[in-house]
């Protein structure tokens, strides 16, 4: 009869107590105990206190010996009358479920871990003479090898921000190359510039996460060359084929807005204006200044904008504004004589056009072999949002614009 069996459990003394240590038993098994008699001593984080026996009976079993730590509610001993059989006692002990105390919010009611005492991750703290620096700025400085003592902070109380580190690194340009000794070869070890770090990160992300596909098309370029010369004469300034290609792409983009877009999370952002980014190689690496509203600009206006952007890019004076917000990118390596190549999409954009050199190629025209000025355009597109037919249609429009360039 379980009414004749009484559980002595780890008491809960005070709000914070979740466990206690048995210090000493004042009685031994088999001894008769009266209600209120001091039965054992328990130690908590704060005190040592005596547990008076809550019941009268024989101390039949001691479950938790001196020195043992038990959570609040755990069985410490069993009191019962002498006529309670051993098997009954054993069953009681086996089936005993004490109260469980937990302050963890996710613990299911009635089940809980014991005390919430384990290691917390230590915070970082700065000695008084250490420079004030944000954690991300500190990481970047370590990566770029920037000496923080030399960086001026623009944050609160002169704290160094990541932008400060980037600016410092850009300013001190190519950080002094350090020689590395090989046994029979000499090498230098160069830190990536901040620009290069950014390029690397974005290209890797693009290549790894965007399902690229490529579409190539050969177009006749003779008319475009003539149109460029004509426009230059009219404007009285240099206008390149590239400037006309920017305009051609802009017009094609307006007609195919699927490509004039960003993919953000699960949303496509389609733009009304074609802000065409033009990849340009500089000493610091690839930069893509943006020609805004290219569909509404004349070839001469585009030429003025690109000339100025390229010049500032070469001098390293481009602002963040100049290089952000492009809705589509053109990469032209024709000047290096490359017949064709493909490019990696610049996210969040969804497509990029790679332009090869305009060169004389043997082609079949009306059933006969002929020589014509040809150019290969390769579109890389993000298959998540642009299907092949859409990309092909865009290239078709572009071909028409290039081969019949009066509208440019």
Partner 1 sequence: MPQLSMRDAINQALHQEMERDPRVIVLGEDVSGGAGGTSGQREASGGIFGVTKGLLPRFGAGRVIDTPISESAIVGAAAGAALAGLRPVAELMFADFVGVCMDQIYNQVAKFRYMFGGKSACPVVIRMAMGAGMNMGAQHSQAIYGLLTAIPGLKVVVPSNARDAKGLLIEAIRDDDPVVFFEHKALYPRKCEVPEEPFRVRFGEASLLREGADATVVAIGRMVVFAEKALDALAKEGVSCDLIDPRTTSPLDEETILESLENTGRLVVVDESPPRCSVAADIAALAAGRGFGSLKAPVVQVTAPHTPVPFSPALERAYVPGPQRIEAAIRQVLGRNR
Partner 2 sequence: MELDRTKLLDAYRRMKTIREFEERLHVEIATGEIPGFTHLYAGQEAVAVGVCAELTDEDYIVSTHRGHGHCIAKGCDVTGMMKEIYGRRDGLCKGKGGSMHIADFDKGMLGANAIVGGGPPLAVGAAIACQLRRPASGEGRVSVAFGGDGSCNQGTVFEAMNLAVVLGVPTIFVFENNGYSEHTGADYAVGSKDITARSAAFGMPAERVDGSDFFAVHAAMQRAVARARSGAGPSTIEATTTRFYGHFEGDPQNYRAKGEIERQRATMDCLARFRATVAADGSIAAAELDAIDRAVLLEIDAAVSAARAAPMPSESELTTDVYISY
Q: Which does 98 bind (CB under 5 to 8 A by kind): partner 2, partner 1, none?
A: partner 2
**Backbone dihedral angles phi then psi of residue 403, each to the nearest 5 degrees:** -80, -25
- Contacts made by residues 170-175, CB under 8 angstroms, sequence distance 24+: 170/194, 170/195, 170/284, 170/316, 175/144, 175/145, 175/146
Q: Which is nearer to partner 1, 120 or 149 (CB)?
A: 120
Q: Which is nearer to partner 1, 162 or 247 (CB)?
A: 162
Residues near partner 2 (CB under 8 A): 9-15, 17, 46-47, 49, 54, 72-73, 98-101, 109
Q: Which does 177 bind (CB under 5 to 8 A by kind): partner 2, partner 1, none?
A: none
Q: Which does 12 bind (CB under 5 to 8 A by kind): partner 1, partner 2, none?
A: partner 2
Shortest distance (Å) from residue 64 CB to partner 2: 15
Q: Which does 73 bind (CB under 5 to 8 A by kind): partner 1, partner 2, none?
A: partner 2
Beta partners for residue 278, in sequence order: 330
6, 212, 256, 383: the active-site residue:
383
Q: Which is nearer to partner 2, 11 or 57 (CB)?
A: 11
* CA angle (240 as vertex; 234, 243 as ends), nearest 5: 95
Give the end-to-end CA distance of the chain in Å, rounded to a whole number: 100
- Contacts made by residues 337-343, CB under 8 angstroms, sequence distance 24+: 339/376, 340/216, 340/376, 340/378, 341/378, 342/214, 342/216, 342/378, 342/380, 343/279, 343/378, 343/380
| CA distance linking residue 182 with residue 204, whole number of Å | 30
Shortest distance (Å) from residue 108 CB to partner 2: 11
Shortest distance (Å) from residue 24 CB to partner 2: 18
Shortest distance (Å) from residue 39 CB to partner 1: 24
| Tokens found for residue 336 | 């290096």
Residues near partner 1 (CB under 8 A): 15-16, 45-46, 103-107, 109, 115-128, 132, 134-137, 139, 155-157, 159, 161-162, 264-266
Q: Which is nearer to partner 1, 332 or 346 (CB)?
A: 346
- Contacts made by residues 311-319, CB under 8 angstroms, sequence distance 24+: 313/280, 313/282, 313/287, 313/289, 314/282, 314/283, 316/170, 316/282, 316/283, 316/284, 318/287, 318/289
Q: Which is nearer to partner 1, 46 or 237 (CB)?
A: 46
Q: Which does 189 bind (CB under 5 to 8 A by kind): partner 1, partner 2, none?
A: none
Shortest distance (Å) from residue 365 CB to partner 1: 50
Q: Which residue has the tokens 């954009």?
A: 349
Shortest distance (Å) from residue 46 CB to partner 2: 7
Q: Which is nearer to partner 1, 110 or 367 (CB)?
A: 110
Q: Which does 159 bind (CB under 5 to 8 A by kind): partner 2, partner 1, none?
A: partner 1
- Among this protein's residues, is 256 annotated catalytic? no
* Strands (E) located in 314-367: 328-332, 351-355, 359-365
| CA distance linking residue 247 with residue 245, whole number of Å | 5
Give the active site residues: 383
């Amino acid at each position: 009869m379980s009414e004749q069996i009484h559980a002595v459990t780890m008491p809960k003394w005070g709000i914070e107590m979740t466990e206690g240590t048995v210090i000493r038993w004042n009685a031994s098994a088999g001894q008769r105990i009266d209600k209120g008699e001091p039965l054992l001593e328990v130690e908590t984080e704060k005190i040592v206190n005596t547990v008076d026996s809550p019941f009268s009976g024989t101390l039949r079993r001691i479950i938790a010996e001196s020195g043992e730590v038990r959570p609040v509610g755990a069985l410490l001993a069993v009191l019962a009358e002498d006529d309670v059989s051993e098997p009954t006692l054993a069953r009681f002990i086996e089936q005993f479920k004490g109260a469980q105390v937990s302050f963890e919010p996710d613990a299911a009611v009635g089940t809980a871990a014991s005390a919430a005492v384990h290691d917390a991750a230590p915070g970082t703290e700065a000695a008084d003479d250490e420079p004030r620096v944000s954690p991300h700025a500190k990481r970047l400085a370590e990566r770029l090898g920037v000496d923080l003592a030399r960086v001026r902070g623009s944050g609160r109380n002169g704290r160094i921000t990541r932008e400060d580190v980037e600016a410092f690194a850009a300013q001190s340009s190519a950080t002094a190359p350090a020689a590395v000794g090989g046994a029979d070869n000499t090498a230098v070890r160069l830190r990536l510039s901040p620009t290069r770090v950014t390029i690397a990160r974005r290209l890797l992300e693009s290549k790894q996460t965007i399902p690229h596909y490529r579409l190539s098309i050969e177009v006749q370029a003779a008319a475009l060359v003539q149109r460029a010369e004509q426009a230059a004469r009219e404007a009285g300034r240099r206008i390149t084929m590239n400037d006309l290609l920017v305009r051609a792409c802009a017009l094609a983009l307006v007609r195919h807005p699927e490509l004039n877009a960003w993919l953000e999370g699960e949303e496509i952002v389609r733009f009304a204006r074609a802000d065409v980014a033009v990849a340009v190689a500089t000493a610091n690496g690839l930069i893509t200044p943006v020609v805004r509203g290219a569909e509404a600009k004349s070839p001469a206006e585009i030429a003025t904008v690109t000339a100025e952007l390229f010049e500032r890019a070469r001098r390293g004076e481009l602002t963040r504004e100049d290089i952000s917000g492009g809705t589509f990118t053109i990469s032209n390596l024709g000047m290096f004589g490359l017949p064709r190549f493909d490019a990696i999409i610049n996210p969040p954009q969804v497509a990029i056009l790679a332009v090869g050199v305009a060169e004389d190629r043997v082609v079949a025209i009306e059933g006969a072999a002929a020589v014509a000025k040809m150019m290969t355009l390769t579109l890389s597109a993000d298959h998540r949002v642009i299907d092949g037919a859409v990309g092909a249609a865009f290239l078709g429009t572009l071909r028409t614009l290039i081969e019949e360039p009066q509208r440019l």
